[in-house]
Amino acid sequence: MKVKTPLVTLGVGLVVAVAILAVNISINRDVGDDTAAPSPPPTTPADAEATTPAPTPTVGDGTGPAGQGQTLTYAGWVDGGAASVAIVVNEGKAIAYVCDGATVEAWLEGTMANGLVELSGAAGQLTGTYGNGPNSADQVTGTVTAGAIAWTFTIPAVEPPSGPYRSAESLRNRLDASWVVLPDGTQVGVEKTGGTRRPAPPFDLTTGTVTVNGTAVPIEPADPR
């Protein structure tokens, strides 16, 4: 019995030492797992493009629709409602028609780019601005003259059938008339067949014609050329 006792004691000590070593290894692994930061996934070119917002085109800086081959139309009343005005722009070229629905009218042409509108004609002129500020990207503000009369205006961008119209060039011997069609469908126009100006007769927006002495005369939307 005295010989076996040291051997038993030595065996117990070895077991305890192995157990302590195993516990230390486990603790070290847990600490390493807790403190190690996960590596971020690699960034691919597709991810970089997806997170980079594309610039938004605007009308007033020359990159908006008026500079990209699309046609923009504006129409409305001048301040005070004494006349109507419509503007059409495409690729920086613009035309406008202003009339009072009785005897005063003017066709104008010129440029509309970089926030500025500059149009002129034999009977008047139009100058204005359009831009990128709140409530201004979709409207034109300016001054227009026809004959000796000048008006200020702020008119919005509109959708068809709003805009300026004129009787077909080949049939102006039968009817020489022009109109502004407003967003609510109102037509404001002047006829000058035979050289005398008078209110233009309303035309059919569905068929694009007006009947004169029993003959249907085509009416054309006006656009820059």
What confidence tens digit (pLDDT) does each residue in 14-23 have? 343 434 444 3
User: 49 versus 175: which is more confidently predicted?
Assistant: 175
User: 54 versus 154: which is more confidently predicted?
Assistant: 154
Domain ranges of the chain: 1-159
User: Hey, how many other C-beta atoms are within 10 angstroms of the C-beta on 156?
Assistant: 14
Bridge partners of residue 126, in order along the sequence: 119, 144
Q: What pLDDT is attached to residue 39?
A: 54
Which of 32-36, 96-100, 152-156 is predicted with the least confidence, judged by mean pLDDT? 32-36
Q: What pLDDT is attached to residue 197?
A: 96
| Residue 128 CB contacts under 8 Å (≥ 6 apart), including other chains | 116, 117, 140, 141, 142, 143, 144, 153
The Cα-based distances of 22 to 8, 14, 32, 97, 216 in angstroms read 22, 12, 16, 94, 103
Q: What pLDDT is attached to residue 138?
A: 87
Task: Give the span between the Cα atoms of 126 and 144, in whole angstroms.
Answer: 4
Predicted TM-score of the model (pTM): 0.71
Q: What pLDDT is attached to residue 44?
A: 52
Q: What pLDDT is attached to residue 48?
A: 45
| Residue 85 CB contacts under 8 Å (≥ 6 apart), including other chains | 75, 76, 77, 78, 96, 97, 98, 126, 144, 151, 153, 155, 180
Task: Give the span between the Cα atoms of 205 and 41, in whole angstroms.
Answer: 61
pLDDT above 60 for 63: no
- Burial-class residue 84 by CB neighbours within 10 Å (0-12, 13-18, 19+): buried
- Degrees (nearest 5) of the Cα angle 76, 176, 84? 10
pLDDT above 80 for 58: no
Fold classification of 1-159 (topology level): Porin (2.40.160)
What is the pLDDT of the chain when averaged over all its residues? 79
User: 40 versus 87: which is more confidently predicted?
Assistant: 87
Predicted confidence (pLDDT) per residue in 116-174, tens digit: 999 999 999 999 999 754 555 589 999 999 999 999 999 999 999 999 999 999 999 99
